[in-house]
Amino acid sequence: MNTEGIRQTHIQILQQLEASFTRPIMQEIAWGERLLGIMGARGAGKTTLLLQHIRDSYGLSDQALYATLDTLHFAPGDLVKLAEACWQQGVEVLFLDEVHKFDTWSQELKNIYDMFPRLRVVFTGSSLLHILQGNADLSRRAVIYHLEGLSFREFVQVQTGLSFPEATLPHLLANHQQMAMDIASQVKPLKLFLDYQRIGYYPYYLQGEATYPQKLMATLIQTLEFDIPYLRGIEISYVNKLKQLLHILAQSVPYKPNVVKLAGALGISRQVVLHYLHHLQDAHMIRMLYPDGAFFSQLKKPEKVYLWHPNHIHLLGKPQADLGNLRETYFLSQVAPRHRVHSSQHGDFTVDEKYTFEVGGRSKNDNQLSGIENGWIAMDDIEVGYSNRVPLWLFGWLY
């Protein structure tokens, strides 16, 4: 395969790459793996992260080659041919963007891994891809990194230019007062916290805060109309059912689903409703919460359904966003990427089967946590906490 055209596109894209915020998580990714996948939702910043790494580590050298499957037209077998050409020309790393646009991606990545042991491959794909359940067994070959949207910590770093290390949950709970005082001595977290809940989750807010809602809506529509039908085999005629379901959830969250009523309202079966809920979760539109210790099954209804992030509430919810909903959604969005979160009989959430959390404002008491070991209040509207009352904003330091 002649790679010259791909090389020229690679150079043009790198030359046009604008200076932008480099996420600290770039240092966490195992770039040296032979087969590395970066999965994430539309808009999470996968392509920018990939291009920044290429620019910083390889520049315009011939050691790396970038190809986006979103624009190039590959036939079955062409990825293997491209890898062979790279191997023959001394390329060390092949970067493949948007592999979900290519039907035989899974089998061809496996073949590349087996045939060219000295060639490393880094690929990105949609969060909707069940990467380890593809057409070929990649579980023993690929290392997968799941890219979330910006955490509140990262948003603060973008806005202020200051650098803050992330914290583990045990460290945060044991040292929350000192942590909060140290951070608050450098920035105004409560003001930034309000901004983050409106516009701070997806990195493209940097292109303009005024246009962020329109871009976020466009991202959701593209996911509903193209990604889910294509990657999950849903007929186009059923896309409106997905939109209706998301609208119902957005107006009601945190929602305790009555699947039978949902099925009746949408004119589809109970089983299809459950499958659609999982599609929306995999697309990073909703989060489903199950009771602690519950047996997980795609046929089991969740205890509660939340939107994925407070930005989605401001976009899709009622004209006046419910404060309690915003608080709980924020907590879940910051804790879930690193921890197991379930619904709780004694509080709002159980984390890692160890910690129980109630989420609320200044007036929140701990009566519901009475007698609960490791019971904590994630408290809004406070800059610094005390005892078992931790500032809600501080949970944004967990990733």
Q: 340 with 353: CB under 8 angstroms? A: yes
Name 36's Cβ contacts closer than 8 Å, sequence gap at least 6: 29, 30, 120, 121, 122, 123, 142, 143, 144, 145
Q: 174 with 218: CB under 8 angstroms? A: no
Q: Are strands 349-351 and 355-360 parallel, antiparallel or unpaired?
A: antiparallel
| Model confidence pLDDT, tens digit, residues 214-235 | 999 999 999 999 999 999 999 9
- 10 Å CB burial of residue 39 (0-12, 13-18, 19+) is buried
Q: Which CATH number fits domain 4-147: 3.40.50.300, 3.40.50.1370, 3.30.1780.10, 3.30.1330.10?
A: 3.40.50.300
Position 17 scores a pLDDT of 92
| Model confidence pLDDT, tens digit, residues 197-214 | 999 999 999 999 999 999
Position 210 scores a pLDDT of 96
The angle subtended at Cα 231 by Cα 252 and Cα 39, nearest 5°, is 80
pTM: 0.93
| Model confidence pLDDT, tens digit, residues 135-157 | 557 878 999 999 999 999 999 99
Q: Are strands 120-126 and 35-40 parallel, antiparallel or unpaired?
A: parallel
Q: Verify cis geometry, omega within 30 degrees of 0, for the bond prior to 302.
A: no
Position 135 scores a pLDDT of 52
Calpha distance 204→216 (Å, rounded): 9
Examine the pLDDT at 133 and tell me if it is beyond 70. Answer: no
Position 326 scores a pLDDT of 96
- Structure tokens given for 208: 């303009």
| Average pLDDT of every residue of the chain | 93
Examine the pLDDT at 131 and tell me if it is beyond 70. Answer: no
Examine the pLDDT at 19 and tell me if it is beyond 90. Answer: no
Which residues of the chain does CATH 3.40.50.300 include?
A: 4-147
Position 321 scores a pLDDT of 83
Name 158's Cβ contacts closer than 8 Å, sequence gap at least 6: 21, 150, 206
| Model confidence pLDDT, tens digit, residues 257-268 | 999 999 999 999
Examine the pLDDT at 91 and tell me if it is beyond 70. Answer: yes
